[in-house]
């Protein structure tokens, strides 16, 4: 690794950015991706491994490259400091995510209810604009309050996150989709929202619902074929 690439890797880590170190196995030549100077196919492979958070050996133009992701923890942005979030946030942290709870209602988003967690007490569309969700970000809305959830979902639909989930009944979700469609979101974009969020495991309690949501997020991140044993 050259001093320039090492400095760039360290700078990415310090800034919380995700990059991929590509090493050509034949001679050790390296790129830190994305890089416009690198072959387009190599950048495309890098985007795929950054989304999956896995190393890979790839062939580009007959040359073998080893791709290694240099990344901070994947993020889970939870909109709504509700009781389900009190279970979901620590579960997500145990699974290696960096959870952030977003809720403008200061009576809900308190350090006492979410000890040791990152809290943002702003409106979610403003918070998401600053956080800039990427391919290593999942977003889930939990409030059942369209004044809070809808702006968050609108912002999420315009970002490159790997998961968007929204809690609520099927009837609630259908009404939500109608409101978002009226704001100009296409059917293809709206299909990205998993609603009601969570795998169908018969969850009843807040921890069980949190577990079902985290399981669905994990399945999306790992591209799992649900219902099929590995």
Indicate the residue among 48, 70, 92 that finishes a domain: 70
pLDDT in tens, 50-76: 777 778 899 998 999 999 888 788 999
212 and 113 in a common domain: yes
State yes or no: pLDDT of 209 exceeds 70: yes
Indicate the residue among 19, 46, 70 that finishes a domain: 70
What would the mean pLDDT of 108-124 be, rounded to a whole number? Answer: 96
Flag whether 209 is in a domain: yes
Q: How confident is the model at residue 95 (pLDDT cuts 50, 70, 90)?
A: very high
Flag whether 99 is in a domain: yes
Between 96-100, 114-118, 172-176, 221-225, the lowest mean confidence (pLDDT) is in: 221-225
Flag whether 159 is in a domain: yes
DSSP state letter for 71: -
**Count of domains observed in the chain:** 2
Flag whether 172 is in a domain: yes
Give the CATH number for residue 189. 3.40.50.720
Q: Give the residue with greater pLDDT, 166 vs 135.
A: 166
121 and 21 in a common domain: no
Q: How confident is the model at residue 229 (pLDDT cuts 50, 70, 90)?
A: very low
Flag whether 228 is in a domain: no
Q: Give me the pLDDT at residue 19, please.
A: 86
79 and 65 in a common domain: no
Range of the domain at 30: 3-70
CA angle 157/216/185 to nearest 5° reads 15
94 and 45 in a common domain: no
110 and 38 in a common domain: no
44 and 84 in a common domain: no
Flag whether 227 is in a domain: no
Q: How confident is the model at residue 230 (pLDDT cuts 50, 70, 90)?
A: very low
Indicate the residue among 16, 45, 70 that finishes a domain: 70
114 and 167 in a common domain: yes
Share of the chain above pLDDT 90, in %: 67
115 and 35 in a common domain: no
- 174 exposure class (CB count in 10 Å sphere: 0-12, 13-18, 19+): exposed
| Mean pLDDT, the chain, whole residue set | 91
119 and 16 in a common domain: no
Name, in order, each residue with C-beta under 8 angstroms of 18's C-beta and a sequence gap of 6 or more: 12, 50, 69, 70, 71, 72, 134, 135, 136
Q: What's this model's pTM, rounded to 2 decimal places?
A: 0.80
What CA–CA distance (Å, rounded) separates 53 from 137? Answer: 12
Report CA dihedral (60, 65, 71, 74) to the nearest 10 degrees: 60
Flag whether 229 is in a domain: no
79 and 66 in a common domain: no
Share of the chain above pLDDT 70, in %: 98
Q: Give me the pLDDT at residue 59, please.
A: 92
């Amino acid at each position: 690794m050259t001093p320039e690439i090492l400095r760039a890797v360290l700078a990415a880590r310090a800034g919380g950015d995700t990059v991929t170190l590509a090493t050509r196995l034949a001679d050790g030549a390296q790129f830190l991706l994305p890089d416009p100077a690198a072959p387009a196919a190599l950048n495309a492979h890098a985007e795929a491994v950054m989304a999956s958070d896995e190393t890979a050996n790839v062939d580009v133009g007959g040359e073998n490259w080893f791709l290694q992701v240099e990344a901070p923890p994947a993020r889970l942005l939870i909109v709504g400091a509700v009781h389900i979030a009190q279970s979901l946030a620590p579960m997500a942290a145990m699974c290696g995510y960096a959870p952030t709870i977003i809720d403008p209602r200061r009576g809900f988003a308190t350090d006492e209810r979410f000890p040791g967690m990152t809290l943002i007490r702003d409106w979610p569309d403003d918070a998401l604009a600053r956080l800039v969700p990427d391919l290593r970000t999942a977003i889930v809305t939990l409030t059942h309050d369209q004044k809070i959830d809808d702006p968050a979902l609108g912002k999420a639909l315009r970002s490159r996150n790997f998961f968007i989930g929204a809690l609520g009944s099927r009837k609630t979700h259908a009404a939500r989709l109608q409101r978002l469609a009226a704001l100009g979101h296409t059917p293809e974009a709206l299909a990205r929202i998993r609603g009601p969020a969570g795998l169908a495991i018969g969850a009843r309690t807040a921890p069980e619902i949190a577990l079902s949501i985290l399981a669905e997020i994990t399945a999306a991140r790992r591209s799992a074929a649900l219902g099929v044993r590995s």
